[in-house]
Each structure stands twice: as structure tokens, then as C-alpha cells.
Copies of this chain bind each other. A is one copy, B any other.
Amino acid sequence: MIFTADIIAAAIGGTVEGRGDVTVSDFAKIEEARPGTITFLANPKYEHYLYSTDASIVLVRSDLELTAPVSATLIRVNDPYSALAQLMSVAAQTLRPNPTGIETPSYIAEDAQVGEGCYVGAFAYIGHGAKIGNNVKIYPQAYIGDGVTVGDDTVIYPGVKIYYGCKIGARCMIHAGCVIGSDGFGFAPDAQGVYHKIEQLGIVEIDDDVELGANTTIDRSTMGRTHIARGVKLDNLIQVAHNVEIGHDTVMASQTGIAGSTKIGANCVVAGQVGFAGHITVGDRVTVGAQSGIPKSVAAGSRIMGTPALPAGEFARLAAAQKHLAEALRRIDALEKKLNENK
């Protein structure tokens, strides 16, 4: 696949600045791009690379003001990252493997239903009464438990494990090693301190267009369901405990954990290694900084960070003040000394 700048600009609604007939056949990062590649500039931190890159085409913001000459052809667009996404999405159709058919040996229970156009990789397991939609890809060594349902066009990567009874929507992408529907962590101690298991009899329900990262774990609920709403994107190694609910279009970065029965709103943006306490409610459109600890419920629209989490402004003031703490102690010493002398 070889494209000119003019053709690309027409496809994504951009404006060409420079030679429109220059051609590209691959993508590259701006700092390591070779001739014949297209790249993009979204983060201003990387602007200096624009003036030295060997890329043939660079996608830039419409309003970018150049501060030096550029040898590459520019295509100006409103949102370079989003425009790049469009182009890569087209390219992905040919670059990604697209396996189809049923490989052997695989295990499909007699009463399981598998729709049309599916891929079932070798050593994949589909249990009793499972219902797999159309054009679903189930990679090798994945496990689909009894009675699980999977919507159309969902991709289940190698080694994903989905326990019995869970429901997965359409157009989801579930990465390798992800575990869905393992038992929630529920035990009741007796008088001797010995813990007895609380059976976890609910399910996990995942709506459409959800992407789950590698080795992320989502526990089934004690009763009812653990629920991940439409369009949620979870990164790798995230823990979602039993009975948690995550609202639509919320995104969370790697290694974040959510304790039991907590409700996270819609359109939240959560950075990595964050911990949410159990039994709290986080409103819609909340933004949480990395490594924060959230012990209490949070109002919609809040921007918080730190442990325990504070509004972002307060957190910044606290961090700034802490730098002066050791000095403050010395100043108090001096004040006390002075006052005693003054007596």
C-alpha cells in the first residue's frame, strides 16, 4: 500500500502544506521516522523533532505555528492523533493476522452454539450451552465456560479465561490472560478466626465495545452482577472486584484496583496504580491522578489525586508546602528561641 499526501489529506479532511505527490508506505514515530513513512505530532513536547524528522509526511494541528523550516510535507488536521487513528485503522485490515475457521484439536461442547464466520483456535475450550455470536475470534487456549454468551465481532485473545454464566457484549476485545468471572473475594471469619467462603453466585456482565487489557481480572459478584458498561477501556493488570459497576466510556490505566461493590461513573479518566476503596460511589466525569488512593465517595466532575485523594489544586499546594516542612521546623525553633530571649 502506497499513498500520496494528497490522497491521505482527502481521506481524512486535511490540508496539504508542501508537496502533495510525496508517497508513504508505513507508519513511524516522529523521532525515528525514515523517508517513505508518515508520522504525527500531537504532544508539544515532541515539536522539536518536527524540524529534523526524515518522515515524508507529518500530521499536525491546524493551528500549529512553525518556528523553523520543515522538510516533510505537512497535513494539517484538527486532531492529528485521531486522524492517524483513522489511517491506522485502514492499514490494520491488512497488517493484522485475520485467522478464520475451526482449528483442531479444539473443544466445543455438543450443545454450544458458534455463529458464522468465527475463528476457534487450537486448544480453545467452549463449554456446555455457551453461545458465541457471528464473526467472533476465539484464539488458542482460551476458555469459555458453561453458559457464557459472547456477542458478534468480539475478539478473545489467547489464554483468556471466562468462567461460567458470564455475558460478553459485541465488538469487545479481550487481551491475553484476562480472567473474567473468577470468584469474588468473600469470606466470613468464625470465632476462631478461620475464614469460611461466601459462595459467589453472581456473574460478570460486559456490555458492547469494551476493551480489556492483558492479565486484567474481573471477579463475579456475590449475587447479581459485576458490570462493565458500554465503551469502557481497561488497561493491563487491573483488578475489578465483585459487585463493582463501571459506567460507560470510562477509561483506566494499568494496575489500578477497585474494591468490592464500588460504583464508578461514566466518562471517568483514571490513571495507573490507583486504588478505590470498597462500597463507595464515584460520579461521572471524574479524573484521578496516578497512584491515588480513593477512600471516600467522589462528586461528579472532580479532579483528584494523592493518598488520600485531594482535589488536584489542594494536592499541588500540599506537595509544594511539604518541600518547606524541614525548614519550617527550624524556623519554629528560631522563633521559640527568640521569644524566650525577649522575655
Binding site for B on A (CB under 8 A): 26-29, 32, 39, 43, 45, 79, 81-82, 84-85, 88-89, 91-92, 95-97, 103, 105, 107, 121-123, 125, 127-128, 139-141, 143, 145-146, 157-159, 161, 163-164, 173, 175-177, 179, 182-183, 185-190, 193-199, 201, 211, 213-215, 217, 219, 221-224, 231, 233, 235-237, 239, 241, 243, 249, 251, 253-255, 257, 259, 267, 272-273, 275, 277, 279, 290-291, 293, 295, 307-308, 317-326, 328-329, 331-332, 335-336, 338-339, 342
Q: Is the CB of A339 within 8 A of B339?
A: yes
Most buried by B among A79, A235, A326: A235
Q: Which residue of the partner chain, among B211, B224, B318, contacts A29 with CB atoms under 8 Å?
A: B224
Min C-beta distance of A125 to chain B, whole Å:
4
Q: How far, in whole Å, are A43 and B280 apart by their CA atoms in the complex?
A: 12
Q: Is the CB of A143 within 8 A of B143?
A: no
Q: Is the CB of A125 within 8 A of B164?
A: no
Q: Which residues of B contact A331 (CB under 8 A)?
A: 332, 336
Q: How far, in whole Å, are A295 and B289 apart by their CA atoms in the complex?
A: 11
Q: Is the CB of A159 within 8 A of B161?
A: yes
Q: Is the CB of B318 within 8 A of A291?
A: no
**Extra A-B contacts (15), CB below 8 Å, given A185-B233, A237-B239, A308-B319:** A29-B224, A29-B243, A85-B197, A143-B158, A143-B176, A159-B161, A176-B179, A179-B215, A185-B253, A185-B254, A215-B237, A239-B272, A328-B329, A339-B339, A342-B342
Min C-beta distance of A288 to chain B, whole Å:
13
Q: Which residue of chain B has its CB nearest to the CB of A39? A: B223
Could you name 27 residue pairs across A and B whose Cβ atoms are closer than 8 Å? Answer: A27-B201, A43-B279, A92-B199, A96-B164, A96-B201, A103-B107, A123-B125, A125-B140, A141-B161, A161-B214, A163-B176, A175-B182, A176-B182, A185-B233, A185-B254, A187-B233, A195-B231, A215-B237, A235-B241, A255-B257, A259-B272, A273-B275, A275-B290, A275-B291, A317-B326, A321-B329, A328-B329
Min C-beta distance of A123 to chain B, whole Å:
5
Q: Which residue of chain B has its CB nearest to the CB of A45? A: B279
Q: Which residue of chain B has its CB nearest to the CB of A343? A: B342
Q: Which residue of chain B has its CB nearest to the CB of A175? A: B182
Question: Copies of this chain, how many?
Answer: 3
Q: Which residues of B contact A241 (CB under 8 A)?
A: 235, 254
Q: Is the CB of A28 within 8 A of B158?
A: no
Q: Is the CB of B196 within 8 A of A85?
A: yes
Q: How far, in whole Å, are A164 and B98 apart by their CA atoms in the complex?
A: 11
Q: Which residue of the partner chain, among B158, B195, B255, contacts A249 with CB atoms under 8 Å?
A: B195
Q: How far, in whole Å, are A197 and B172 apart by their CA atoms in the complex?
A: 11
Q: Is the CB of A325 within 8 A of B335?
A: no
Q: Which residue of chain B has its CB nearest to the CB of A238? A: B237
Q: How far, in whole Å, are A188 and B233 apart by their CA atoms in the complex?
A: 11
Min C-beta distance of A236 to chain B, whole Å:
4
Q: Which residues of B contact A214 (CB under 8 A)?
A: 161, 179, 182, 217, 219
